[in-house]
Structure 1
Amino acid sequence: MVRTRLDLDRIRTAQRLIDPVFLDSPLYRCEAMEPVLGCAVSIKLETANPVRSFKGRGTEVIASQLAAGNSRAVVCASAGNLGQALAWSARDRGLDVTVVASRFATAAKLDRIRALGAELELVDGDHELARDRAAAIAQHHGIRLLEDSLDLETCEGAATIGLELAELRHQAEHPVVLIALGGGAMATGVGYVLKTLAPKVEIVCVQPAGAPAMTWSWQQRRVVTTDAIDTIADGVAGRRPIPEVLDDLLVVADDAVLVQESSIVTGMRLLLDHAGLVVEPSAALGIAAVLENRDRFAGRHVVTIVCGGNVDQDKYRHWVGL
């Protein structure tokens, strides 16, 4: 069993806390895409739920714990998907949620956070400034600060995806799972479960070249920060990796690769044309990795986690040429 901060028993307990609407997401072969990519492709669809992303798995765990305790208020920084998920999970549990986001975040995500009843505070900067502001709010008001990827609930909630992918261990060939890499909750969570239950599965993390901090950190085995980001994949656009998360990633990831913006856009278009899926850029990172490394994945079984579908429709139409 691999050693990280995560724990398999806690992950199984987390699975019991999560609303079933987020569990057992579709996993299916997408044969229509296979001639284009030159490999067998399966999609793990994490958009078929009320918040259209995998984040609800982690926020369900956190909200359940808060509802059972004395603290009824929580604040987080979010590029959009975490904030939506936390607001959804808190709504029927009587929790007060504050979400801090960049005012340049995807408008559709911000609108949905408001619609779900959370208090939304916008900052004139990127996600890292939002993280700083959320921490200041938590300290000032003495409330729970939810830090995505640092807080184990976010990792172990996401890790339940890995429990659902563990059936891959029964395959004769050695499949590869492609995971979008941002803060690292999904990559470390899914990676931990698969390396524990299905160690022959290859774990490849994928990040935009315009937001490479975590990939560079994985490659150099130390925290590497960047001064700026330049990518349409806002859900994975961080500049300051969390040391504890990097330590976990170093244990479970077999590789971490960077992809170009053009490949992300092409991946979004392929998912639309061949799978009928409207996805946000972060969700197309796995397809982008195959497009840029055809020889590496040729003839293999690739599983890509389509992690989010919250996208600005006008920008989406522009990106995919509609």
Structure 2
Amino acid sequence: MTDDVAAGTDLSLERIELAARVIDPVFRDTPQYIDEQLCAALGRQVIVKVETANPIRSFKGRGTDYLIGQLEPGRHPVCVSTGNFGQGVAYAARRRSLPATVFTPTGTSPSKLDRIRALGAEVISIDSDPRAAAAEFVAHSPSRLLVKDGGDPRIAEGAATIAVELFSTYRPDTLVVPVGDGALITGIARWAKAVAPTTRIIGICAAGAPAMLHSWHARTPRQAPATTIAEGLAITTPIPESLNRMLPLIDDLLEIPDAPLLDAMRLAARTLGLLLEPSGAVGLAALTTLPIPGTTVATILTGSNLRTEHLHHLN
């Protein structure tokens, strides 16, 4: 194992190894395999890592469980989320008998909100600026802790356990990763660059949410509006810490419009028998439509909390 990027990031290989041992087993050792029908459809060997078969139906449980598992008793985690991260916080807090509050923007998927509430967290929907509302809420009590997806390195280190599992078996030429706040790709790339430095790490943003892409090219955070069906990638204000981790770790960042996401959802249902939300199908959509290099490629199917109205697109 080499560690040539250690000086350029605050993500720790040792903490990633710890996370791989201590996060809730329900999120670990997820399926990873090569499906012949999918390979035939995409014209090359494709490895999929399936992060949907767990109690919150997404990869977010890894990072949230690792972080919240390290909090002292009596803390009250608070977050802003469009759904999946909020479910992760709620699940990890309930597991440790902690209260949790999730601020969501108006218009968040009702099914995701129902699942957050079912996990025991308080949900507060905000019309204008849920981040400001969450910060004000935290300021009123010393027990409350604002947990920012993409901020605390432990969230990325928990997500990196996906790479620990993937690279224990495979060495793809290219790994394609959806990019929202950047926690997933930075954690994965941190591990990948140490154990498989020749594997290219390519991130995919939603074209309707270009803030992270603009920030990547400018090498400094840039805001942009988000209008995309890929709710998990709808970032308008990149977190500086996450962008700074991305810069030395990933090889390229591309964008994809919404229409191929719907096609990729149908492809996953037809070949893999899996229901994916639009954000979860980003890697497959990129392999279908973008010039991704590599004979053997891998991608992560990140979530299956799709809206009811997306189901008719699967016909």
TM norm structure 2? 0.94
Does residue 121 of structure 1 match 2:124? Answer: yes
SS at match of 2:140: helix
Paired residue for 2:303? 308
Residue identity in the other structure for 1:270: L
Deviation for aligned residue 1:107: 1.0
Determine whether 1:15 maps to 2:20: yes
Summarize deviations over 1:284-313 as a string: whole Å, max 9, x none.
Answer: 11111112225x44x611111001111112
Contact 1:76–1:100 at 8 Å: present in 2 too? Answer: yes
TM-score w.r.t. the length of structure 1 is 0.92
Picking from 283, 286, 296, the partner of 1:286 is 283
Q: Distance in 1 between matches of 2:133 and 2:287?
A: 37
In 2, Cα distance between equivalents of 1:215 and 1:119 = 32
**Aligned position for 2:96:** 93
Q: Partner of 2:51 in structure 1? A: 46
User: Residue 36 of structure 2 corresponds to which residue in structure 1?
Assistant: 31
Residues 178-219 of structure 1 deviation map (CA, whole Å, 9 limit, x = unaligned): 101000000100011101111111100001100011112112
Is this contact kept in 1: 2:186–2:249, CA < 8 A? yes
Q: Secondary structure at the residue paired with 1:245?
A: helix
**8 Å Cα contact 2:135-2:146 kept in structure 1:** yes
> Deviation at 1:11?
1.1
Write the mapping of 1:41-190 to structure 2, written as runs, cut at 5 A: 41-66=46-71, 69-125=72-128, 129-142=129-142, 143-167=144-168, 171=171, 175-190=173-188
Contact 1:165 1:194 in 2 (8 A): no
Contact 2:20 2:164 in 1 (8 A): no
Structure-1 separation of matches of 2:290 and 2:59: 26
Helix, strand or coil for the counterpart of 1:167?
A: coil
Runs of 4+ residues deviating >6 angstroms: none
Q: What residue number does 2:208 align with?
A: 210
Q: Which amino acid aligns with 1:141?
A: S
- Across the two proteins, how many residue pairs are aligned to each other? 309
Secondary structure, in 3 states, of the residue corresponding to 2:77?
A: strand
Structure 2: gaps (5+ residues): none
Q: Name the SS of the counterpart of 1:177 in structure 2.
A: strand
Deviates more, 1:200-209 or 1:283-292: 283-292
CA positional deviation for 1:241: 0.7
More helix by share: 1
Contact 1:72 1:94 (C-alpha < 8 Å) held by counterparts? no
Q: Which whole-Å CA distance do the structure 2 matches of 1:105 and 1:193 have between them? A: 32
Give the aligned CA root-mean-square deviation in angstroms. Answer: 1.4
Following TM superposition, by how much is the alpha carbon of 1:268 offset from its aligned partner in structure 2, in angstroms? 0.8
Q: What's the % identity of the aligned pairs?
A: 41
SS in 2 for 1:303: strand
- Aligned residue runs from structure 1 range 189-228, under 5 A: 189-226=187-224, 228=225
Q: Deviations over 1:106-164 (max 9, x none)?
A: 11110000111101100114xxx222221221112221110111011211110111111
1:265 aligns with 2:262: yes
